[in-house]
Amino acid sequence: LDIMMPGKDGFAIMQEMQESADTAEIPVIVLSALRLENYQERGILTGLPEIVAREIPGDLLLKLIEEQTSREGAAAEPQKAARPRVLIADDQTELLLLMKEMVEYAGFEVITANDGAEAMTAVFETNPDIIVLDNNMPRKQGLEIAQDLKNNPVFAHIPIIIVTGAGEKSTKLKGLSMGIDDYLIKPVDTDELIARIRMILKRNKQVLDTNPLSKLPGNPSIQARVEREIQKGGEFAVLYLDLDNFKAYNDNYGFEAGDRVIKATANLLVKLTIQNEQSQDFIGHIGGDDFIVITAFDKSEELAKRITGAFDEISPSFYNKADRERGCITSTDRQGNIKKFALLSISIGIVHNHARPLHSFAQVSNIGTELKKVAKAANK
């Protein structure tokens, strides 16, 4: 899309696209000689996946289009889209079952927990889209769970609704101060609960940069976290992760299978990186098959080895029996040549400030990209 056009400019077209449910999710590549960073910051270009210069070479434009269509492939089949996942925790069994039944009937996937400890385990295992917590539960109260999640970089973005008894004003005030999204007073009106869940999820989709496939933070959160680590001045490491041979896998097995790989990779990273609720490590999804992990320098190499080893263990499960036995698939490369491609694996480049200082997100990103290329070359 060219920004400057007669009659109607690119900004107006993008605004109309964002306002229509039929076009809001279509990827847009902007061609312009303008510097557009300030527009992006002010939200005028909210959601643009790529912004490029007018002088973009043809082969790069084709690559960007290919990446966008690959990334958005599953979105073209809305009937296969996953239902939003709701975690509901309450120690009153009858109320819990009622809420579960009604929320499921409204079109959501529901996970339940009977106490606070069970709820925390469910968050780590299922990574829900939204959480409904009774405040007064055994083993861990709702506000305690909320506090732990809001302090956790991986789960802080998940919206939380607290269910309280009438007159618990102090609970409301405490929750508001820690960023609770909404409250419901018992007895719970299930119609109101469903309406609030829908409203919060819609609002979050508009304002958060969470990747809809992996449910991990996206590029704005990644940049903010890297810059925060730089400002703190302590030692840290950034792991840049990329799946090897993912395009060939996608071409052979299809976008739906590719999405399953992305989800499995995200879940694996959460499981290996966030060992407990006190962990301050960060996981982000750059886009496509690229991920990032921010951790302490002294454990970065060991973590990278665990990630690559664990992924190698699950990689064969993504293939059919014949391809597993061959240990490879046959597909075409970007130049159209027929080649054999090994099974999926992960390449990781580690950027750290142990030996030299890091001054900016751009510096970290550039070093990470180069190190990732070296790692991918070593895996060939």
Q: Do residues 126 and 201 share a domain?
A: yes
Q: Do residues 351 and 235 share a domain?
A: yes
- Work out whether strand 338-342 and strand 29-32 pair parallel, antiparallel, or are unpaired: unpaired
Determine the pLDDT at residue 13.
78
**The token pair that represents 55 in the structure block:** 């002088």
Total domain count, the chain: 3
Q: Do residues 262 and 227 share a domain?
A: yes
d(CA 186, CA 96): 12
* Cβ contact 146:183 at 8 Å: no
Determine the pLDDT at residue 64.
57
CA 20 to chain centre: 24
d(CA 295, CA 116): 28
Q: Give me the CATH number covering residue 311.
A: 3.30.70.270
Q: Does residue 354 sit within a domain?
A: yes
Q: Quick one: which H or E segment has residue 351? A: strand 345-352
Q: Do residues 199 and 314 share a domain?
A: no
pTM, two decimal places: 0.56
* Cβ contact 70:255 at 8 Å: yes
Q: Do residues 306 and 368 share a domain?
A: yes
Q: Give me the CATH number covering residue 147.
A: 3.40.50.2300
Q: Do residues 29 and 162 share a domain?
A: no
Closest CA to 134 of 192, 92, 179: 92
Which parts of the chain have pLDDT scores under 50? Answer: 35-54, 72-80
Determine the pLDDT at residue 318.
93
- Work out whether strand 338-342 and strand 109-113 pair parallel, antiparallel, or are unpaired: unpaired
Q: Do residues 125 and 167 share a domain?
A: yes
Range of the domain at 25: 10-56
Alpha-carbon distances, residue 331 vs 63, 243, 251, 328 (angstroms): 18, 16, 7, 10
CB within 8 Å of 332: residues ≥ 6 apart: 248, 251, 338, 339
Closest CA to 269 of 219, 217, 220, 227: 217
For residue 211, report the phi and psi dihedrals to the nearest 5 degrees.
-65, 125
Q: Do residues 178 and 248 share a domain?
A: no
Q: Do residues 319 and 229 share a domain?
A: yes
d(CA 376, CA 349): 9
d(CA 32, CA 159): 37
C-beta neighbour count of 76 within 10 angstroms? 11
C-beta neighbour count of 236 within 10 angstroms? 24
Give the model confidence (pLDDT) of 151-185 as tens digits. Answer: 887 788 889 999 887 666 677 777 777 778 888 88
CA 190 to chain centre: 29
Determine the pLDDT at residue 21.
61
